[in-house]
Structure 1
Amino acid sequence: MEWLTWLDAPHAELARQVLQRGTALIFAVAFLSTLLQFPALAGERGLSPAPRFIAAGGLDSLPSLFRIRYSDRLLRTLCLICIAIALALVAGLPQAGPPWLPMLAFLILWAVYLSILPIGQTFWGYGWELLLVEAGFTVAFLGSHEVAPPIPILLLVCWLVFRLELGAGLIKIRGGREWRDLTALAFHHETQPMPGPLSRRAHLLPRWFHKGEVLGNHVAQLGAPWLLFLPQPIASIGAAVIIATQGWLVLTGNFAWLNWLTIALAFAAVDDRVVAWLVPAWDASHDYAPTPAWFQVVVLAVAVLVVALSIPAARNLLSRRQLMNASFNRFRIANAYGAFGTVTKRRDEVIVEGTESEAPDAGWQEYGFRGKPGDPARRPPWLAPHHERLGWQLWFLALGARGPWFPVLLERLLEADPATLRLLAHDPFDGQPPHWIRARTFRYRFATHEERRRTGLTWIREEVGTLVAPIRRRT
């Protein structure tokens, strides 16, 4: 099939390297996150047990390796295998073989993570989970070092970035007024789910700077995605705009692997010749063997499949009732994306406390969570691309999203359950069960420069009310 050589992209080797290795690295992070957190959150004795979800028919009509049986041991084994496969891809080992080898490796990662998402329930129900699954499926067909990167797959990745960025931009324009009057980022750095160590500094920048941030966001999300499909060097310029804005988000927040993976995916539009013009040391010429006919057929079939599955997602972009982070098929391919259609103006936090006192009137001490604000003196940590799932759910809880998992969390803390305590940054009772536990709500704001100099605090907080009255340990 030499007539199909027009499918080859001989000047996209850097794009392929970043796409394959970057996506594989995020898979390694995601499976490590699952290995460390799933048993306590959704395992056999988790806050939302997967076996109970499966028994209730939660996997009916969904593809999953856990339809027949789930166990924490099986989940951990699959995670360890997939971490090993992902790290091999990061090192470029499967890519050194025939085209089918990296394809098989990525499809294994895709199938296993696709199996985990539904049984993870609310703790695995985030937009970047869908993004990783779709990215893993798509980059599986980029081939190996033997053959030139296929143009249809690079275009499919650009289409993924287009939906991701434009979907997020349209959600904002159609959402809260703060995105239209350019005030959204005067609040967002302070109220985002999981701030980072630079979030306070970003929040305290002048208001004119925040308005410029919003304008830059609109340019990056509503304008730059269109450039990805134009001739070079314009496509590379569009990718650079997206990469730069995602880099700012990496510096000022903790959005798991969303920004990191978007940066990697945006490289699909980067041309080796443009890179060589900027960095003369980069070799823009590569010699490839003829692409096997079977691989060309597979690439074309995948392209047709994804285009067909993309019709609902394309309609969603045009809809006034645009869905955010939604799937239209059970294989989680060609999804709808978007984030922060509205921005929270105030930050409330749920603070969980326990006491060893026999009476619930003294000795209350606060549990510390890894990512969410708690101790006002503690500076937010840098966690991304790791996904601190319990902290994110507690952020939603403070917004009023009451889930059945939270009472179970309080019970586990009363029992001093070791698996649950390992999810925390600080256990005030050193593994011993408290007599009582309660949950209060506080309103947080970043300390001003003057307040920081005077008190040394990162946050200023005041109590709003009681979420859960004191609960006694069962004896």
Structure 2
Amino acid sequence: MAAMEWFTPWFSAPGYEMGRLILQRALAAVYLVAFFSAAMQFRALLGDRGLVPAAAFVRRVSFRASPSLFHWRCDDRVTGACAWAGVVLAAAVVAGAADAVPLWASMVMWALLWILYLSFVNVGQIFYSFGWESLLLEAGFLAIFLGNAETAPPVLTLWLMRWLLFRVEFGAGLIKWRGDECWRKLTCLYYHHETQPMPGPLSWYFHHLPKRLHRVEVAANHVAQLIVPFGLFCPQPVATVAAGLIIVTQLWLVLSGNFSWLNWLTIVLAFAAVDTSALTGTPSYGPTPLWFAVVVCVATTLIVVLSYWPARNLLSRTQQMNRSFNPLHLVNTYGAFGSVTRVRQEIVIEGTDEDRITPDTVWREYEFKGKPGNVHRLPRQFAPYHLRLDWQMWFAALSPAYTRGWFEPFISRLLDNDRATLRLLHTNPFPEQPPTHVRALLYRYRFTTREERRETGAWWHRTFVREFLPPVALSGERGDRRPR
């Protein structure tokens, strides 16, 4: 006991108790959103009749290559149960359950959240291929070793959280500076608010800010991502100020677009550097349990060793974005928008109930929940909720290569009026009977000018580009497609 009393002061950081509390509860809230997203979407995208069934994936990929609970059993009942179990467990942690149980039980709760979500990510294929999936898993893994109300926050885990936040911000800054020249010329935001994957309700207004302010935004972004992150490793109060600046810049991004939980999780991680002892005082704790200190030290050693690969990636001229170097998604690389799209293109899906296709055929449009479609519909705010199909549709409009494996099954499900698939959409123009034919058209979209907005009430203006998919119909066996 005397040894632990000597050990505790340099191992623990009681002044970060409030920062830890906010971090843990907010991280659990992100977990809740992620599991709820799985509960609502996994069946349609990756279920037994999903667009890219997870059951087929686990049959051809080994557990070692892609660890997941679903290697033991993968069907709609099991994946649904796991998703809702994650929702309940995450809600319990948000409500404070992890602080109301012994330390070991708290660690088990966080470990279960991590294992459950890892199971979804590792069978999620293209629909779970986003950088924020790995970011949630890495942050969730570190949270296992952050302790609870029984013990002071461990210094080592707080530093690991800061190291994660540093890689998120500095990696994103480097990929921009090394990538598209518009970042160096400070002109990327002339386009980005309009062409980003899923604009939000304020994106139209951000796009129409003066170009001089757009240049200021880019310059501020470079400061926030290339300079400020180093402040996270400085003494207080510099680290807290750096964290505050990161939080402010991330809130600006939250207002300007929909990036799932990427921005929110970055904000959450910043609280690992916030010392509130000057405002709230420093709570007192008993000695840190020896077994907990040993576990934290082992975890820290593991992260330090695994950090070699992402650190080397940061220093490389061929830096990669959003890559995991191991199947557990620990210590990954991050980054976004190394290149910025200048022109926005959207795929518009249409159907008809007519038996024969003629020049006079009436086509009715499917409306997605988040991605642009109806030019008079204001973009909605969905983040931190992740609309996985909408995001893939954005990629598909960039290149047909991004449709491989999932787009044809998606069209087949529309022709079949598949209920699970239709729940992913905002509107179904064929509520009674399925369409006889479905087609896809490619349009160029741009935000309307202020004058156009006043005259037409539209948020978007679109111009036909070409046919993306000719009219197709079901024939033969269920789900078999043939052009017509």
Using the size of structure 1 for normalisation, the TM-score is: 0.97
The worse-fitting range, judged by mean Cα deviation, of 3-12 and 442-451 is 3-12
Aligned to 1:440: 441
Aligned to 2:390: 391
- Of 337, 340, 343 in structure 1, the residue corresponding to residue 337 of structure 2 is 340
Residue-by-residue CA offset, 1:313-371 (whole Å, 9 max, x unaligned): 11110001111101111211100001000100000000000011122231100000001
Aligned to 2:105: 101
Does the residue aligned with 1:46 lie in a helix, a strand or coil?
coil
Aligned to 2:122: 118
- Of 82, 89, 94 in structure 2, the residue corresponding to residue 90 of structure 1 is 94
**Counterparts of 1:472 and 1:98, CA distance in 2:** 59
- Of 308, 319, 324 in structure 2, the residue corresponding to residue 322 of structure 1 is 319
Residue 78 of structure 1 and its aligned partner are, at CA, apart by 1.0
Residue-by-residue CA offset, 1:368-391 (whole Å, 9 max, x unaligned): 000100000000000000000000
**Equivalent residues in 2 for 1:71-470, closer than 5 Å:** 71-273=75-277, 276=279, 283-361=280-358, 362-400=361-399, 401-470=402-471
| Contact 1:4–1:296, Cα closer than 8 Å, also in 2 | no
Aligned to 1:38: 42
Flag structure 2 segments of 5+ consecutive residues without an equivalent. 477-484
**Counterparts of 1:195 and 1:69, CA distance in 2:** 38
Residue 473 of structure 1 and its aligned partner are, at CA, apart by 3.0
**Counterparts of 1:91 and 1:57, CA distance in 2:** 37
Residue 59 of structure 1 and its aligned partner are, at CA, apart by 4.3
Amino acid paired to 1:378:
R
Aligned to 2:5: 2
Structure 1 vs Structure 2: percent identity of aligned residues? Answer: 51
| Contact 2:66–2:123, Cα closer than 8 Å, also in 1 | no
The worse-fitting range, judged by mean Cα deviation, of 91-100 and 243-252 is 91-100
| Contact 1:416–1:431, Cα closer than 8 Å, also in 2 | no
Aligned to 2:481: none
**Counterparts of 1:331 and 1:120, CA distance in 2:** 14
| Contact 1:377–1:458, Cα closer than 8 Å, also in 2 | yes
Amino acid paired to 2:447:
F
**Counterparts of 2:162 and 2:433, CA distance in 1:** 52
Task: Count residues in correspondence.
Answer: 468
Residue 434 of structure 1 and its aligned partner are, at CA, apart by 0.5
Does the residue aligned with 2:339 lie in a helix, a strand or coil?
coil
Residue 422 of structure 1 and its aligned partner are, at CA, apart by 0.7
Does the residue aligned with 2:439 lie in a helix, a strand or coil?
strand
| Contact 2:310–2:333, Cα closer than 8 Å, also in 1 | yes
| Contact 1:58–1:119, Cα closer than 8 Å, also in 2 | no
Q: What is the alpha-carbon root mean square deviation over aligned residues? A: 1.1
Aligned to 1:280: none
Residue 19 of structure 1 and its aligned partner are, at CA, apart by 1.3
**Counterparts of 2:134 and 2:211, CA distance in 1:** 34
Residue 61 of structure 1 and its aligned partner are, at CA, apart by 2.8
**Counterparts of 2:284 and 2:58, CA distance in 1:** 50
**Counterparts of 1:355 and 1:100, CA distance in 2:** 59
The worse-fitting range, judged by mean Cα deviation, of 311-320 and 67-76 is 67-76
Amino acid paired to 1:398:
A
